[in-house]
Amino acid sequence: MNAVISDTLLADLRAFLDPAQIASDPDSRQYYGRDWTRLYPPEPLAVVFPGTTEQVQQLVAYANRQGLALVPSGGRTGLSGAAVASHGELVVSFERMNRILAFNAIDRYVTCQPGVVTEVLQQYARAQGLFYPVDFAARGSSHIGGNIATNAGGIKVIRYGLTRDWVMGLKVVTGKGDLLNLNKGLVKNASGYDLRHLFIGSEGTLGFIVEATLKLTTTPRSPSVMLFGVPALDGIMAIFDACQNRLSLNAFEFFSEKALRHVLAKNGLQRPFETATPYYVLVEFENTSQETLDAALAVFEQGGEEGWLADGVISQSESQAAELWALRERISESISSHTPYKNDLSVRVSQVPAFLSEVDAVLSRHYPDFEVVWFGHIGDGNLHVNVLKPPALDMDSFVGKCQTVNQLLFDAIAHYEGSISAEHGVGLTKKPYLGYTRDAAEIAYMRAMKQVFDPNGIMNPGKIFD
């Protein structure tokens, strides 16, 4: 890491930040200059830790005067390189802006700063007798600001939707340094353009989120979990259809036998049942009555009779439900040491079977020597494809092979009018492929919006598009 902060810049920053809010040592720059992707070496100039909205505004104003690029940093759990600073940028970490500011029991909202950890917000909502439903395996380290900036989805989208559906209001500092108070927590507001939604999913390229008002809801009642072993791909959607017709679903997840093997080996867990199958489906539903339980058992019986499933189990306690969820949620951490190349794809739910078959054929044909680990949120049409790097293969060669096959995968995405990025964002990793999902006219309008909010191009430059 060769970037060196000048004495002049350091002195300028200390005019509105305490010395403890500035870090330029190599370890800090390495730690804060990257996200969970490991494809780009971090090389930020320094890291700053604003504590107030006023300091963020002062920082953006200074960056505009100096032509200094800024990269936002939250929990750095992203998988697209959107939080990577690799060209001498100044990293802006929001971990000190981590307070819950207000709660309203009647309107059922909570207002917080962007550095609040997702799990902390979930626990706070639970303490109020309510529920914040956006959930994923990285809940213990991801930040609310980053969730909003990437429109995070997760494991319960089928019932609760994406982060976008829970944002009632935002305060943002634009790339021009203006502070905007967007929607102000209103349920109904038909007074023109809703700029709030431009910032949700913008990956910090239009401005920085400094405050968020988020909707809460009632806690799910008596959730139970079923895990099915599925012999063939076509059985997955048959089970989904049967579950959707009989049960109130909170989640419908999918993973492969290869994924399960990594989880079992890494975490010392036990197989949920004796039969090993190529695929598994995890279903969470509200088990509120004997009638509901009977409906769930009817799905199990029908699936066995039709050959959709070979074995299965239903949780009998909260602890067993958590153990079954661990088999799905620990996949990413279990394969992380293999430096996976990740693709995060989506199509309409009705197209999942045909798309699955087509992608399976592409991967089998072009990755015969690579281990490919599948999992995903089948209930909302989202697949995660992870190609594991062979130990003997250097990173550049590995990435090159994966990018070659990307063209084939994304050709299929374009055919199904799907998305190259269901929930991980575009960042750096998907930037070359944006045209598979957005046409030229749409990208031109996106660039025009970037110019309006960030005319000097200081906000997370090089992400989404150049």
Structural domain boundaries enclosing 164:
100-215
Tell me if 1 is assigned to some domain: no
Q: How far apart are CA 337 and CA 340, in angstroms?
A: 8
Tell me if 465 is assigned to some domain: no
Clarify whether residues 106 and 211 are in a common domain: yes
Residue-wise pLDDT for 290-315, tens only, equals: 999 999 999 999 999 999 999 999 99
Clarify whether residues 210 and 256 are in a common domain: no
Clarify whether residues 325 and 429 are in a common domain: no
Q: Of 96, 130, 163, which residue constitutes the final position of a domain?
A: 96
Residue-wise pLDDT for 197-242, tens only, equals: 999 999 999 999 999 999 999 999 999 999 999 999 889 999 999 9
Clarify whether residues 324 and 261 are in a common domain: yes
pLDDT at 2: 58
The pTM of this model reads 0.93
Q: How far apart are CA 453 and CA 204, in angstroms?
A: 11
pLDDT at 378: 86
Number of domains the chain contains: 4
Clarify whether residues 206 and 162 are in a common domain: yes
Q: Residue 36 belongs to a domain with what CATH number?
A: 3.30.43.10
Is residue 257 within 8 Å of 163, Cβ to Cβ? no
Clarify whether residues 313 and 230 are in a common domain: yes
Clarify whether residues 371 and 310 are in a common domain: no
Clarify whether residues 115 and 207 are in a common domain: yes
b/e sequence 168-188, b meaning 16+ C-beta within 10 Å: bbbbbbbbbbebeebbebeee
Tell me if 90 is assigned to some domain: yes
Q: Which distant-in-sequence residues (6+ apart) come within 8 Å of 76 by Cβ?
A: 32, 34, 35, 36, 83, 141, 146
Average model confidence (pLDDT) across the chain: 94
The confidence band for 134, taking pLDDT boundaries of 50, 70 and 90, is very high
Q: Of 96, 129, 145, which residue constitutes the final position of a domain?
A: 96
Which runs of E-coded beta strand occur in 262-403?
279-286, 311-314, 341-346, 371-377, 382-388
pLDDT for residue 100 is more than 60: yes
Q: For the residues 122-143, what does the mean pLDDT come to?
A: 95
Q: Please name which of 250, 209, 203, 255 lies closest in space to residue 229, comparing C-alpha atoms.
A: 255
Tell me if 274 is assigned to some domain: yes
Q: How far apart are CA 159 and CA 400, in angstroms?
A: 38
Q: Residue 344 belongs to a domain with what CATH number?
A: 3.30.70.2740
Phi and psi of 142, rounded to 5°? Answer: -70, 150
DSSP states along 104-118: ETTTTEEEE-TT-BH
Clarify whether residues 227 and 143 are in a common domain: no
pLDDT for residue 1 is more than 60: no
Q: Residue 196 belongs to a domain with what CATH number?
A: 3.30.465.10
Which of the 8 DSSP states describes residue 421? B
Residue-wise pLDDT for 54-71, tens only, equals: 999 999 999 999 999 999
Tell me if 344 is assigned to some domain: yes
Residue 351: Cβ within 10 Å count: 16
Q: Of 182, 215, 248, which residue constitutes the final position of a domain?
A: 215
Is residue 194 within 8 Å of 134, Cβ to Cβ? no
